[in-house]
Amino acid sequence: MPLRRSWKEILQKLLMFSLTSVAGTIVDLGLHWVLCNYSFRGNYWGSYWIAPTISFEVATITNFFIAYFLVWKERVSERSLRSVVRHFLAYNLTGVGAYLLKLVAMQGMHWLFYSLDWMQDSTMEPVLCNFLGLFFSGGFNFFMNEFVIFNKLKKDA
């Protein structure tokens, strides 16, 4: 049975989640920039679909290990390979939902920049769109982690 949490506890977890998500953001944006600049330069599908997919998955793996071993460590009742795999599969599944949300936001930002003729010849434009998309996916990802994947349960009396 789920245990009610105080707003203070939720805000503390949100702050910790936000601080540790910086690592995933750096991985995501850094790898996205490298891929756009060196592998997919001038290629729309590569820069706006393939590169963000690769960079987001690598960032998801990074964030999972931080979440599992630091942010929600007290909520992991069993430390085993089975536990890591089970939590990772759930984490990655919610990551796919967050990714889809990010991708929609990213495409919207690209459309807006394209319509306004901003940064169209810059290799930083896809990275900026990606960064703005991360804001939308971050809130969804926190909610899923706090209330689904690492949900706090009442201890049996």
pLDDT tens digits for range 27-76: 999 999 999 999 998 888 998 889 999 998 999 899 899 988 888 788 78
The predicted model gives 3-30 an average pLDDT of 84
Which residues, including other chains, have CB under 8 Å from residue 73's CB and lie 6 or more apart?
Answer: none
Q: What is the pLDDT of residue 157?
A: 41
In a 3-state reduction of DSSP, which class is residue 118?
A: coil
- DSSP letter (8 states) at residue 153: B
How far is it, in rounded angstroms, from Cα 147 to Cα 17?
13
Residue of 120, 118, 109 whose CA lies nearest to 52: 109
- Confidence at 156, pLDDT banded by 50, 70, 90: very low
What length does the chain have? 157
Strand partners, 2: 153
Please give the structure tokens belonging to residue 1. 């049975």
Q: Measured between alpha carbons, how far is 53 from 47 in angstroms, rounded to an integer?
A: 10
Taking a C-beta distance cutoff of 8 angstroms, is the pair 28, 55 a contact? yes
Q: In the prediction, which pLDDT does 155 show?
A: 53
pLDDT 10s digits, 94-137 = 888 888 888 899 899 999 999 998 887 777 888 888 888 888 88
